[in-house]
Structure 1
Amino acid sequence: MNARTEPEPAQPAAIARPPLVRELLLVAGLFLVYKSGRQLATGHTDEAFRNAHRVWDLERAVHLPGEGSVQSLLLHGDTFAHLANTYYATVHFPATAAFLVWLYLRRPAHYVRARRILAAMTTAALVLHLVVPLAPPRMLAATGLVDTARTYGPSVYGPPQSDHLTNQFAAMPSLHFGWALMVAVGLIVATRSRGRWLWLLHPLLTLLVIVGTANHYWLDAIAATALLGAALTVIHLPHRTVTTAGRGQEGLVPADDRALVGAGR
């Protein structure tokens, strides 16, 4: 009596990790575009302040909580303000870079998607920075807010008139918050630990810092969230394809799809 032979289960496809040199060049190029693109919006001081008054008035019209309520928490002592300024100055880029490195090494398929989302969101943000230059609330006298970086330090910005390295009129959307939210979302999706939702503390703390230090309005964070939501909707992880020629067999799939199949098993 011949034993029935069942088809062997399909083996997980190999994870395709993008070439390291290419990825370094892509990420470096994204950073250079981010830095140089911000410079294109300099010199629009009057328009930036007009837009700032509009944003401030709109927030009051829709009854958003005042940014001052968050800043008052930091002004109880020099220590809190200094810690918030340090967080603003030092966490933004290293946290995002560490996120991409970890995904590249441990979750290549998720890395590809995260890199594409960050690139799309950053590009869209730079366009908005050019179209809608916006002075941050720390520059707007009507807000009554303190520029905590200049008062308590450390500060990443010089006087707007002489600061040629950064565009201080690029408040909306807040890439500080948008990138932090993407880091949290990316890690929640790419991991399965019970405590993975704690990654949301990163964008929450970032939100409190950017508002409390008067570097951003609430609407800056809302705009960044909308951009990230649009990017997440459009840019998906690749889907697995299955052939109809035989049961339990998988068809040939692109590299990113093979990565998804391997990561999902």
Structure 2
Amino acid sequence: MKQGKDLIEDVEKSYSVPNLDRALSIVELLQDSPQGFSLTELQERLGFPKSSIFRITQTLVNRGYLIKSGQPSLFSLSKRFLHIGLSTLSEPNLLEKCLPVMRLLRDELKETILVGALVEKKGVLLEQVLGSHPFTFMLNAGQGFHLHPSAPGKSIIAFLPQSEREAIIESMSFEKFNDRTITNIHDFKEALNKVRSCGYSIDYAEELEGVHCVGAPIFNQYGCPISAIWVTGPSARLPLEKFEEVGDMIRDMCLGISRQLGYNQ
């Protein structure tokens, strides 16, 4: 005779929707594959019937959640998911408040300015203002970024409530990209202490050789970091000796945005 827990699990399974479950598996696979996958590749990776994948992807294309392009056709996520994600942030008009400040920073620093947030323990780029140099960095809205080597990742995690911060840190794999990458919890926590002390964070070419970043968090009315703004540029144009000056500038401008959101600490 089945126990209560087993009965509950049976009931929950009876109410599941197989095609919806398959659709979410497709979306989650494409989330980490901006280049997209063909029908055949989706079938090989997920093991679902090709006819089922065809119907699901076509439905998602028709509803605007997937983009189909190329020959053979490749499926990738549209920005509609990003728009839905933004609506879950505590401040739906966050980008409206960030963009004017980001343009001011771009005009001052001449480098690309970006804003991102944590979405389910992952960093996600929300928007960017391109730098004015002939050579400048450009990413795609909705693109993910690693937390442990990045300026925005450190900026946000450093100021999270302790329990939430510890949960995220414990889940991190600390992948090594080069000799400057932080690869263990102890060193990462030390880096976060420095962020809390000065109010801004740095990426000293910890992931990409020759690429530096400096960023700072944005807080909501409850004092919780909900996003971060950062500048990225070649190490020759954004050298170590400029980090403090640039960090203070970004921190103060992010504080201004935070105050517009009700932050008063």
Name the TM tier (shorter chain).
under 0.3
Q: Which has the larger radius of gyration?
A: 1
**What's the TM-score once normalised by structure 2's chain length?**
0.25
Going by fraction, where is helix more abundant, 1 or 2?
Answer: 1
Going by fraction, where is strand more abundant, 1 or 2?
Answer: 2
Higher relative contact order (CA 8 A, sep 6+): 1
